[in-house]
Amino acid sequence: MKKLLTVGLAAMFVLSACSNGDKKAAETTPATTATDSSPSVSESAKPAKLSLNWSVAGGNLANVTLPSADKDFVRKAIEEKFNVDLNIDYMLIGKEYHDKLNVTMAGGSTPDMFIAGGAESQKYIQDGIATNMAAYFTQETLPNYFKWVSPEELDAFQLKPGEFTRAILPFQRNSYASWYIRQDWLDKLSLKAPTNYEELTNVMTQFTKGDPDGNGKPDTYGFTTAGSGQKLPFDFPQWLNNGLVADFMIADNNYVDTRTDLKVQAVIDQVVEWNKAGIVDPDWFLNIAPANFDKAAQGKVGMIFTTGDKTVALDSVATSVQNRSKALNPTANWQPIYPLDKPVMWKYNVPENTILISKTTSDKNPEKVVRSIEILNWLVSEEGFLLTHYGQEGKHYTKSGNKITLNVAAFEADIAQAGNWLNVYQVFTPDEPNVLGLELIDSRISEHDNAILKTVEGYPKNNALPPVSLVPPAGINIGDFRKEMSKYHVKAIFEDKNGNNWPKYREELMTKFKGREIFTEYTKQINSVLKDKKLNDFK
């Protein structure tokens, strides 16, 4: 079947080439006919018009709304270039997005192409919702995609060796994880920036009780985050304070799953202490992102954390927390901060989110898959990248060689002040023009902003291990395990109000919910690609 499908797809591409009247093109492979600028066929020989349904999600889609069709020049370009009607659903990635996606699928309307989180993609693949993409996702059909993701990374990202059921959503390599603090509040209260946990706790206390906004009301808190009613986020500095960095580490030649480590007992104790002291926004657990950023912008809290949004404190982004705060208080000044005396803050990014294709579409309408792949190849090309990140050439930017100069006034009016709606299409490529050999000249990026970006980018990080996609043993879903883990975190914080029971909870996770099997398998997978040393068995 795979061979037949491959031959069929190849025939489709050859026929498309022949329809242009170019005999030489018909004799070549798709790799030689694909271009950055226009993978579509001529107007006179366009294939039949198709209606495509996509579902996309990303980390910067909060409060974003696509403009009307006459103003959405990206959609217009796609629909004209590829002769499609593109219906695109979009949300901030997270539980609400996947809940909505699940309801859509349960109703028998799986999108033709869709984005999912790593754990969620495993479930969709196991349930037969996502198709085998081997015949579609190749270097011949997607030459531009492989400028962002290597074949080796893609192979390592599969759930089983030799299969291809999910693709890596191109991702930002460097991490911009950071806490951000109200520097103007520090100044008003004559406080120094904290450099260890004790100093940080004192600052959070003063932010809560010292009236940093000067309104005479006890209406501020030191810190907030968004638990979505289900989890203990990594935003809490207590994780790093206890030596637990990001979601996993390789420490002392051991694989460490930070969220289930024995040190979580101390994390829980310290979070409970902050809660009891009243220095954390009492709504943190029920907050759903971006409510934590909204509260920061409203002047209700003095410190937040983000793993990926590097625009939080930038003057050059109209919707940044910095600008939204200054609209209410002109003296507001958010600055990145590394408030703990630990050697490493975070880790470099690894692929997380996935691109999936509907099995129903693949079985019944393979031409929709082919067309979606053509559009994807264009979106990740130079032409697609420029249009989705900087707008229309000659209007929103000019190009000279590899230098892209933003026309700030036009960009602000049509895109930034219209809610940064290009973010919907930017989910397919991170804001890294250097990948395509391009250099952005943006007059909005001041010395202030450059200093912030340089500071955050320079925070010490762990290497982006593992070099493989960590997959639990067959029949075990990591998403189910994480749900049980989060329940124990929540139980310890809100019911036990201490971490005393964590060792018992952890043992149940390791045995009853098969955590030890999962992490032993992870260790084996990492060992399979490490050349210099082998990790110890998971304990």
Query: Which range among 193-207, 280-294, 339-353, 496-510 shows the weakest confidence by mean pLDDT?
Result: 339-353
Residues 129, 189: one domain? no
Q: In the structure, what pLDDT confidence band is assigned to residue 156 with cuts at 50, 70 and 90?
A: confident
Residues 194, 308: one domain? yes
pLDDT at 467 over 70: no
Q: Name residues whose C-beta falls within 8 Å of residue 447's C-beta, 6 or more positions apart in sequence.
A: none
User: 63-105, pLDDT tens digit by residue?
Assistant: 899 999 999 999 999 999 999 999 999 999 988 999 999 999 9
Place of tokens 């003063």: 206
In angstroms and rounded to an integer, the radius of gyration of the C-alpha atoms of the chain is 25
Residue range 121-138: mean pLDDT, rounded: 93
Residues 61, 185: one domain? no
Place of tokens 């955050």: 456
Return the closest-CA partner of residue 326 out of 343, 312, 338: 312
Q: Name residues whose C-beta falls within 8 Å of residue 359's C-beta, 6 or more positions apart in sequence.
A: 110, 128, 129, 130, 131
**Helix%, strand%, coil% for the chain, nearest 5:** 40, 15, 45
pTM above 0.75, yes or no: no
Return the closest-CA partner of residue 356 out of 166, 227, 149: 166
Return the closest-CA partner of residue 293 out of 226, 211, 366: 226
- 229: tokens are 């009613």
More confident residue, 364 or 469: 364
Q: Name residues whose C-beta falls within 8 Å of residue 461's C-beta, 6 or more positions apart in sequence.
A: 175, 177, 344, 345, 346, 347, 348
Residues 318, 187: one domain? yes
In a domain, 451, yes or no: no
pLDDT at 430 over 80: yes
Q: Report the domain count for the chain.
A: 2
In a domain, 284, yes or no: yes
In a domain, 2, yes or no: no
pLDDT of residue 36: 44
User: 354-381, pLDDT tens digit by residue?
Assistant: 999 999 999 999 999 999 999 999 999 9
Residue range 389-411: mean pLDDT, rounded: 97
Residues 519, 475: one domain? yes
Residues 255, 289: one domain? yes
Residue range 384-406: mean pLDDT, rounded: 98
pLDDT of residue 21: 40
User: 218-272, pLDDT tens digit by residue?
Assistant: 999 999 999 999 999 999 999 999 999 999 998 888 999 999 999 999 999 999 9
Residues 217, 161: one domain? no
Q: In the structure, what pLDDT confidence band is assigned to residue 173 with cuts at 50, 70 and 90?
A: confident
Residues 330, 355: one domain? no
Q: Which domain holds residue 272?
A: 177-347+466-529
- 85: tokens are 């009607």
Place of tokens 């907050």: 287
Residue 393 Ramachandran class (φ > 0 left, ψ -120 to 50 alpha, else beta): beta
Q: What's the CATH number where 360 sits?
A: 3.40.190.10
Residues 303, 370: one domain? no
In a domain, 57, yes or no: yes
H/E segment holding residue 511: helix 502-511
Residues 187, 154: one domain? no
In a domain, 44, yes or no: no
In a domain, 438, yes or no: no
pLDDT of residue 351: 87
Residue range 8-15: mean pLDDT, rounded: 41
Q: How far apart are CA 416 and CA 63, in angstroms?
A: 12
pLDDT of residue 441: 94
**Mean pLDDT value across the chain:** 89
User: 436-450, pLDDT tens digit by residue?
Assistant: 999 999 998 889 999
In a domain, 513, yes or no: yes
pLDDT of residue 32: 32
In a domain, 479, yes or no: yes
Residues 278, 164: one domain? no
Residues 380, 327: one domain? no
> Which of 387, 421, 455 is the last residue before a domain boundary?
421
- Please report, rounded to a whole number, the percentage of residues in the chain having pLDDT higher than 90: 74
Is the backbone peptide bond immediately before 290 cis, with ω within 30 degrees of 0?
yes
pLDDT of residue 45: 62
